[in-house]
């Protein structure tokens, strides 16, 4: 017993332990906050969709239907969960986890506010962490489609992952312009570089490409063919029920929030904004996040779906060359500015 106490004391006194513990505490807070925000984003989507379609949306459970997410979670918990006959058991169970975890881990590098306490870990390759995690998010869809032992699920899974990896390329390239202007991969440094002018102004093309590829990356809005009900039953999550389906749903919306947060950090000035003191700057971040999330929901219920070949054509033949042209133009401008 005293050996364990001695070992723990030794661990506590190591130089990096306070940093690690503090980062873990921040991560736990972010986790709980984001899970709540995600469930209320689902509620907001249904309400906004309803009003855009000249109806009310959920309004029965609690005042204005505000307890609807709780009802949804309760329903999903109590549904019967069944696993298809020839499914690969382990992979079938792991795929929903892989849908949620990368999206939520992204929040650990996003700076919500001006102080150092507002970012869980200021990694100096923060932007690359985001791209690494979104690359890992492709696996959940591929594995879900394959492990279901179902033709439609497999096709939906392969289509969706092909779409995601195609648009990942254009997304990464569209952020290189921001990287050239900010001079650092650290998200905190990128936000600080936007104190005078948000990067959306010099990088408007980059911003537009990023937003379009963001829709494709999260399988939303006009790019949601792989999970379109009329085409492929439910795509890769056909065979999933109960809480596993809930995890996919959660993961999709967590992905939306994380991509919106990255868009705000990279292009829309992060927590920069007039009138508020340093300690309250995170309110600007959340205000911009709210507007961008509303924009995501708005686009979903406005545009018709892209056909799959149109989607791939857009990603490879239009987005990619435009992103490369953007990088070349930005690089030339930065070089010209350095010379003069």
- In 3D space, the residue among 96, 105, 162 whose CA is nearest the CA of residue 129 turns out to be 105
Q: What is the widest separation between alpha-carbon atoms in the chain?
A: 69
Judged by CB under 8 A, the stretch of 68-76, 133-141, 279-287, 318-326 that binds other proteins is 133-141
* Between 16 and 78, CB nearer to other proteins: 16
101 binds other proteins (CB under 8 A): no
DSSP H helical ranges for the chain:
2-12, 17-52, 68-78, 89-105, 126-147, 151-182, 187-192, 204-217, 229-232, 242-266, 282-300, 308-313, 320-339
User: What CA–CA distances, in Å, run from 333 to 176, 302, 336?
Assistant: 14, 37, 5
- 251 token code pair: 């993961």
Residue 11 binds to other proteins (criterion: CB under 8 A): yes
Instruction: Compute the Cα dihedral for 274, 275, 279, 280 and give only its sign.
Output: negative
**Residue whose CB is less far from other proteins, 110 or 143:** 143
Interaction residues for other proteins, span 61-100 (CB under 8 A): 88, 90-91
Encoded tokens for 193: 């570089």
Is residue 174 within 8 Å of 213, Cβ to Cβ?
A: yes
Burial of 184 (0-12, 13-18, 19+ CB in 10 A): middle
Report, in Å, the least distance between residue 183 CB and other proteins: 8
Give the C-alpha separation, 316 to 318, whole Å: 6
Identify the residue whose tokens are 């918990």.
Answer: 77
In the complex, minimum distance from the CB of residue 151 to other proteins, in angstroms, rounded to a whole number: 11
Closer residue to other proteins, CB minimum distance, 137 or 246? 137
Backbone angles phi, psi at 174, to 5 degrees: -70, -25
Nearer to other proteins, 12 or 77 (CB): 12
Work out how close the CB of 240 gets to other proteins at its nearest, in angstroms, rounded to a whole number.
Answer: 18
CB-nearer residue toward other proteins: 129 or 263: 129
Among 3, 4, 13, 16, binds other proteins (CB under 8 A): 16
Site for other proteins in 180-199 (CB under 8 A): 184-185
Binding mask 110-129 for other proteins (x = CB under 8 A): -------------xxx--xx
If the CB atoms of residues 121 and 241 are measured against other proteins, the closer one turns out to be: 121
Of 161, 163, 194, 255, the residue at the interface with other proteins (CB under 8 A) is 161
Minimum CB distance to other proteins smaller for 76 or for 95:
95
Interface residues toward other proteins, by CB under 8 A: 11, 14, 16-17, 88, 90-91, 123-125, 128-129, 131-132, 135-136, 138-139, 142-143, 146, 154, 158, 161-162, 165, 184-185
């Amino acid at each position: 017993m005293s050996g364990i106490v001695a070992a723990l004391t030794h661990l506590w006194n190591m130089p990096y332990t306070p940093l690690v513990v503090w980062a873990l505490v921040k991560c736990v807070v972010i986790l709980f906050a984001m899970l709540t925000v995600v469930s209320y984003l689902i509620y907001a989507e249904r309400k906004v969709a309803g009003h855009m379609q000249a109806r009310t949306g959920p309004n029965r459970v609690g005042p204005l239907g505000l307890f609807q997410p709780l009802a949804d979670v309760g329903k999903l918990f109590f549904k019967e969960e069944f696993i298809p006959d020839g499914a690969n058991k382990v992979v079938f169970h792991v795929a929903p986890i892989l849908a949620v975890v990368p999206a939520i881990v992204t929040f650990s590098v996003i700076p919500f506010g001006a102080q150092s306490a507002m970012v869980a870990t200021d990694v100096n390759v923060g932007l690359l962490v985001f791209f690494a995690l979104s690359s890992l998010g492709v696996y959940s869809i591929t594995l879900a489609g394959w492990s279901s032992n179902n033709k439609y699920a497999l096709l939906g899974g392969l289509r969706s992952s092909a779409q995601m990896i195609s648009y990942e390329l254009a997304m990464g390239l569209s952020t290189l312009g921001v990287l050239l202007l900010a001079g650092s991969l650290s998200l905190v440094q990128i936000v600080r570089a936007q104190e005078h002018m948000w990067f959306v102004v010099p990088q408007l093309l980059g911003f537009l490409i990023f937003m379009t590829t963001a829709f494709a990356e999260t399988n939303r809005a006009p790019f949601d063919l792989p999970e379109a009900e009329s085409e492929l039953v439910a795509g890769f999550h056909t065979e999933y029920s109960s809480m596993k389906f809930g995890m996919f749903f959660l993961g999709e919306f967590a992905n939306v929030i994380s991509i919106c947060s990255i868009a705000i950090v990279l292009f829309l000035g992060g927590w920069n904004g007039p009138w508020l003191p340093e300690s309250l700057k995170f309110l600007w971040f959340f205000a911009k996040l709210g507007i961008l999330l509303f924009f995501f929901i708005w686009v979903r219920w406005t545009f018709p779906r892209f056909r799959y070949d149109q989607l791939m054509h857009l990603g490879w033949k239009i987005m990619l060359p435009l992103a490369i042209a953007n990088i070349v133009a930005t690089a030339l401008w930065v070089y010209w500015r350095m010379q003069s």
